[in-house]
Structure 1
Amino acid sequence: MTTVARQRALPLGLVLLALVPSVAGGVRLGQLAGGGPVTPDNVRFFDLPVPVVAHIAGAVIYGLVGAFQFVPSLRRGSWHRRAGRVLLPAGLVVALSGIWMTLGYDLPATDSGPVITALRLATGGVMAVALVLGFAAVRRRDFRTHRAWMIRAYALAMGAGTQVFTHLPFAFAGITPDATGRTIAMGAGWAINVAVAEWVIRRS
């Protein structure tokens, strides 16, 4: 594969990865806008819609627009700065609303527990810190550090897309994962993204 082809493939792959949770989020917003159906699994969103709406809207913007920040030709132009002014607040909304949902929602038994709660809080907290550190770095024109922290933040945000694939073994086996299975699958999604991000940072 040529260099140009690789440069085109990366944002396309990231867009496709972001589309998976984006579509699911769109369905969720449609349910909220239409007033139902309300089930035991989604009643928390109807009781407190603000954090989930903010999370979905922020994630769609951050995931799809952020994919093009990895295009070298766009990084060298004004696009990168203009997009960054949108992506920073969108990313902070994703991180902080994720923490809000973790602490504010009464989650089902299969989606709660001390480990998965700690993972969610850590992910949101680290992502928010990474965004702030990345912004501070670019303000002092330390572009290498800026790039590293922004890659880490984006990798954590894209965990929802990777988690679709880490849940596939349960789907293929026809099994509904319990709390332990959910924790492992979700933790694996974040871990894979973090590992890839650190590899990219060190490779470049």
Structure 2
Amino acid sequence: MNNPAPAARRPAGVPSRATGRGSGWPVPATLIALSAIPLIAGAFRLVQLAGGPATIPADDRFTFPAPLVVHIAGAALYALVGAFQFVPRIRRNHPNWHRRAGRVVAVAGLLVAGSALWMTLLYSQKPGTGDLLYVLRLVFAAAMAGSLVLGFAAVRRRDIARHRAWMIRAYAIGLAAGTQAFTEGIAVAAFGDGELVGDLAKGAGWVINLAVAECLIRRRPSRRAGPAPAA
């Protein structure tokens, strides 16, 4: 009887299929790091509203703080849980978790967008901001809510490509507060402080995030190498 053929050896320097795919964990780590500044500021604001020490300047506009509390809590849930929705290994190996977490993320995102619209329309404008930022907040909050609704409708139709695209856009809009921390600092350093400079810097945060999102959506996935040929 013939002996079975020996197992094919992988040539040196060729990664295995398991290791060649990559873990994908740098993506959520980067997203969480980007959202750290607004999340920390939001946590300080909640502590202040609860009667704790005033670690950041008080804001007298929030005489009715419920929308602000919803906005901060929803943003924390949206940023932290949503970051793990972009890990391919989780989507592939734990589809049930991905679906359940996706519903939580979608609800949190709608709360963030809805509370942003509420505060923009019903609260007075923050000193030092102008009408341009007022309009931009309305536009991007509505765009975030619309993207979440379209993404949910797409996955109900089993249109995964459109679902992925709309959810990436919604997450990019929601994460703009982290990018704005950098665009505002750069704008002030380059052009000085001012109402128009601040409004444009915040608008740049949304635009940059959406531009990156569109690049990711349109990027063709790299073709993975097949199994190594037999020696």
- Compute the TM-score of the two structures, normalised by the length of structure 1: 0.91
Q: Match for 1:95: what amino acid?
A: A
Query: In the aligned structure 2, how far is the partner of 1:86 from the partner of 1:156?
Result: 17
Aligned length: 199
Q: Match for 1:62: what amino acid?
A: Y
Query: In the aligned structure 2, how far is the partner of 1:92 from the partner of 1:67?
Result: 16
Query: In the aligned structure 2, how far is the partner of 1:40 from the partner of 1:73?
Result: 42
Does residue 87 of structure 1 match 2:105? yes
Q: How does 1:1-204 map to 2 (within 5 A)?
A: 3-4=21-22, 7-34=24-51, 37=54, 42-45=59-62, 47-76=63-92, 77=94, 78-111=96-129, 113-170=130-187, 172=189, 175=192, 177-204=193-220
Kept in 2: contact 1:25–1:56 (CA 8 A): yes
What stretches of structure 1 of length at least 5 have no aligned partner? none
1:105, distance to aligned residue in structure 2 (A)? 1.0
**Deviation beyond 6 Å, 4+ runs, structure 1:** none
What stretches of structure 2 of length at least 5 have no aligned partner? 1-19, 221-231
- CA deviation map 1:48-94 (0-9, x unaligned): 20111100000000001100101001112222101112111100000
- CA deviation map 1:112-149 (0-9, x unaligned): x2211110000100000000000000011110000000
Higher relative contact order (CA 8 A, sep 6+): 2
Per the alignment, do residues 116 and 174 of structure 1 end up closer, same or farther by CA in structure 2, a change over 3 Å counting?
A: closer
Query: In the aligned structure 1, how far is the partner of 2:189 from the partner of 2:201?
Result: 14
Percent identity, aligned pairs only?
53
Kept in 2: contact 1:41–1:108 (CA 8 A): no
Q: CA RMSD, aligned part only? A: 2.1
Which protein has the bigger helix share? 1
Q: Match for 1:138: what amino acid?
A: V
